[in-house]
Structures are given as C-alpha cells and as structure tokens.
Amino acid sequence: MFTGIVQTQATVVSKTQTDGVLRLVVSVSDEYVKHLDLGASIAINGCCLTVVQVELSNHDVLAQVHFDVIDETLKLTNLGLLELGSLVNYERSVTFGTELGGHIVSGHIHCTSQISQIVKLENNCKIQLSLPKEWQKYVLYKGFVSINGASLTVGEVDEQGFWLHLIPETLAITNIGAAQVGDKFNIEVDQQTYTIVNTVENYLRLQAG
C-alpha cells in the first residue's frame, strides 16, 4: 500500500529483457534504500514492484535497486516505454506511523492515459489527459486519481478525459513536470470511487433484471 506522495525521482540505469521478464534497474540516493529488504514493495511510476536486489552506493555510483517486470505489467503500464536515463517516480510502501498525506494507493495500474495538451501559466500548469472510455466513469471532479504514482485532485472532467491543475512543488518533485504532449502516464483510479460506481451499477442491473 502507498500514499501517492512521491518521495523522490530515480533514474533508469539498466533494462534487460529475458524470457518474458524485464529486469529494470534504477539508481537512487542511499537514504531511499535504508533498511530496504529483498521482497519489499516500491511504487515505480505508481506501479507496485518487488525488490529483487539492492546495491548500496560505491564511490561515485548511486545505490541501485533491481526489479523484475513481467509482460502483463509492461502491457498495462508505461514501464516498457522507459529508456536509459528516464526519471521515474519512486515511493516506498507505507509503514506503521506513516503520514497519509495523499490517498490510499494500491500500486495496481488500471490503464495509461496520454497527454493531449499542456498549458503553462505563471505559477502553475494545466495538463489535459485523454482516458479510455471504460475508465472515465471512475474519474470525478475534485476526486482523487494516481498519476505515475502521485496522488492528485481532478481539476476538470471533459468528454475525452480530465484536466490536472498542478502547483510548482508537484512539478518539481515528480516526473510530471518534464512530460510532453503525447507522453503516457500510469493511471490508478481511486479505489473507493471504483467500488462505489461498480456496486451501484450492479445493483441497478439486478433491479432492472
């Protein structure tokens, strides 16, 4: 489980494809791998991945964390589009006593969403995202949505998808600020909204049947 509060950005330093599994390696400062055990969960661009190897920093080389990513995950997320040098959002899983500053995020990506438009203003930035039709009903005005693992509030909803209104802090801490039109974000809709919408639809379907 995660909070959607991105802790830092990590850098992709290696990608190796073998027998339907991608070994993904990211580098990050030592402070973000303290007491990190094998088998621990880390959200990379919002996708919950299992740590399979950890290498602490050595001289001028930053710490490195290794993950194995299966084909199904690559199909559903933007992880397969990453290149060497790409920056990814990095959040370790919630521990007892963690402040829940965002919203509860599972790390299970529902779909990807493509940037349709970016409007940069003096003190903030607006990003328009297209969304597959089957997922639009779960994104509500002022509701929560996880974008590349960052817990954000929906600013507007339109026929194609929705808009985000982003403050400078969010743009600086996450990789959202470096995104361009056409890029794809990992999307996890709010689990409570997902459950409520599906429950109501199922109830109405039973009543009509």
Give the DSSP letter string of 29-71.
Answer: -GGGSTTPPTT-EEEETTEEEEEEEEE--BTTBPEEEEEEEEH
The predicted structure's pLDDT at residue 22: 96
The predicted structure's pLDDT at residue 131: 95
- Residue ranges of the chain whose pLDDT lies below 70: 96-101
Q: Map 130-183 to HEC letters.
A: ECCHHHHCCCCCCCEEEECCEEEEEEEECCCEEEEEECHHHHHHCHHHHCCCCC
The predicted structure's pLDDT at residue 101: 65
The predicted structure's pLDDT at residue 121: 85
The predicted structure's pLDDT at residue 96: 64
Tell me how far apart the alpha carbons of residues 159 and 161 are, in angstroms, rounded to a whole number: 6
**C-beta of residue 153 within 8 angstroms of C-beta of residue 182:** no
The predicted structure's pLDDT at residue 162: 98
Tell me how far apart the alpha carbons of residues 188 and 12 are, in angstroms, rounded to a whole number: 22
Q: What is the pLDDT of residues 113-126, one digit of tens each?
A: 999 999 998 888 99
**C-beta of residue 91 within 8 angstroms of C-beta of residue 52:** no
The predicted structure's pLDDT at residue 97: 62
Tell me how far apart the alpha carbons of residues 118 and 130 are, in angstroms, rounded to a whole number: 12
